[in-house]
């Protein structure tokens, strides 16, 4: 299926198509930005465009030529996709070596050879160093497209050898319109979903489909019960085990900051969860602000650990123990 860029990607698309028409498209592109901005979608549209033999005036692939049909069935000889074999695993040095061997062969259709590496932050030290030679000495008519949601995890030597293209949060109003018209998201909850999704449209769409607002409300009710001693951290962790810990930690961090803001103003200018403000207000009144700051630091560390091989359930239980301690009576 031929993909077209999303409306908020128009500027990036036009820039690359202009460079392509001028014959000076960079040999290595690094598409970066938060998850949910549609970088994979954009990259696939670009791959289609580069390998299309009869692309349209605006650069979109025709969908009918030999190159488009081969891509559609996943059998184009001049396209290589490099990704971890399993989610969370690394792109290995052996995979990079096989790529180098394949790129040493001339294009079979006398056009571009295109490589898509995603997620690029899954290159480990050995594979990243192995890729450097390809980036430094690219074979003729080779375009490497690297996708990255966490650019700080990518080696500086890799970053410096790529032309970076940022996918930042799009303007609010057009994004809300897209969510309502194209993604069928209720306009009343779209702003909150977009805020939860870090202003990323596709993340907001995903959250709408997952029923996340109800999940958040249920979790906060359990946290209220936890603060009153009516539930234990183990019980809450067990009830919430189907929700990704990264999401739970994000919600907790947002609520923690909201409670800090409520310590200084009954009506803060900015709030992460306006839909839950009245539930957060009485909780904030029970906690010393210094404890909230310390707990926020622990949430940041927990978010870091959640990206490792740590036991997720134990990490969540420990984080919830920290929540209980927020409400512990001070010693006299």
**158: closest CA among 245, 30, 50, 271?**
30
DSSP bridge pairs for 92:
none
Nearby residues of 241 by Cβ (< 8 Å), 6 or more positions away: 313, 316
Q: 9 near 38, Cβ under 8 Å? A: yes
Q: How far is residue 222's CA from residue 22's CA, in Å, rounded to a whole number? A: 59
In a domain, 146, yes or no: yes
294: enclosing H helix or E strand: helix 289-306
User: Looking at the structure, do residues 219 and 299 belong to the same domain, yes or no?
Assistant: yes
| Residue-level pLDDT at 176 | 93
Q: How much of the chain is helix, strand and coil, in % rounded to 5?
A: 55, 10, 35
Q: How far is residue 218's CA from residue 148's CA, in Å, rounded to a whole number? A: 33
For residue 125, count other CB atoms closer than 10 A to its CB. 10
Q: What is the CATH number of the domain that holds 73?
A: 3.40.50.300
| Residue-level pLDDT at 273 | 92
User: Looking at the structure, do residues 152 and 183 belong to the same domain, yes or no?
Assistant: no
What is the DSSP annotation of 198-261? TT-HHHHHHHHHHTHHHHHHHHHHHHHHHHTTSS-HHHHHHHTTTS-HHHHHHHHHHHHHHHHH
**115: closest CA among 129, 133, 132, 100?**
100
- The domain of 233 spans 212-326
Q: What is the CATH number of the domain that holds 245?
A: 1.20.272.10
User: Looking at the structure, do residues 227 and 130 belong to the same domain, yes or no?
Assistant: no
Domain count along the chain: 3
| Residue-level pLDDT at 88 | 76
| Residue-level pLDDT at 243 | 93
pLDDT tens, N- to C-terminus, the chain (332 residues): 667 899 999 999 999 999 999 999 999 999 999 999 999 999 999 999 999 999 998 999 999 999 999 999 999 999 999 999 987 789 999 999 999 999 999 898 879 999 999 999 999 999 999 999 999 998 889 999 999 999 999 999 999 999 999 999 999 999 999 999 888 888 888 999 998 888 999 999 998 898 899 999 999 999 999 999 999 999 999 999 999 999 999 999 999 999 999 999 988 988 999 999 999 999 999 999 999 999 999 999 999 999 888 999 999 999 999 999 999 875 33
Structure-token match 């949430």, residue found? 299
């Amino acid at each position: 299926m031929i993909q077209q860029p999303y409306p908020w990607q128009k500027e990036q698309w036009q820039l690359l198509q202009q460079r392509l028409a001028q014959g000076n498209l960079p040999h290595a592109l690094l598409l970066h930005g938060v998850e949910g901005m549609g970088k994979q979608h954009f990259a696939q549209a670009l791959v289609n465009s580069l390998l299309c033999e009869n692309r349209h005036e605006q650069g979109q692939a025709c969908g009918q030529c030999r190159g488009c049909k081969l891509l559609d069935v996943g059998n184009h000889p001049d396209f290589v996709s490099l990704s971890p074999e399993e989610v969370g695993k690394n792109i290995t040095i052996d995979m990079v070596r096989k790529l180098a061997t394949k790129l040493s062969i001339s294009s079979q259709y006398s056009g571009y050879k295109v490589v898509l590496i995603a997620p690029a932050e899954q290159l480990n030290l050995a594979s990243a160093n192995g890729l450097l030679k390809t980036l430094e000495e690219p074979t003729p008519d080779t375009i490497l497209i690297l996708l990255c949601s966490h650019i700080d995890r990518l080696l500086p030597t890799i970053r410096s050898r790529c032309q970076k293209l940022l996918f930042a949060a799009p303007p609010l109003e057009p994004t809300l319109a897209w969510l309502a018209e194209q993604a069928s998201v209720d306009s009343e909850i779209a702003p909150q979903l977009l805020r939860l999704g870090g202003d990323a449209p596709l993340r907001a769409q995903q959250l709408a489909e997952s029923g996340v607002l109800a999940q958040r409300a249920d979790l906060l009710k359990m946290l209220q019960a936890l603060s009153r001693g009516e539930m234990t951290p183990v019980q809450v962790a067990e009830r919430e085990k189907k929700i990704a810990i990264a999401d739970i930690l994000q919600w907790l961090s947002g609520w923690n900051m909201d409670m800090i803001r409520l310590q200084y103003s009954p009506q803060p200018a900015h709030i992460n969860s306006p839909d839950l403000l009245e539930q957060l207000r009485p909780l904030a009144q029970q906690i010393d602000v210094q404890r909230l700051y310390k707990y926020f630091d622990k949430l940041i560390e927990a978010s870091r650990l959640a990206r490792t091989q740590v036991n997720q359930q134990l990490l969540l239980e420990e984080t919830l123990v920290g929540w209980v301690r927020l409400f512990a009576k001070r010693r006299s």
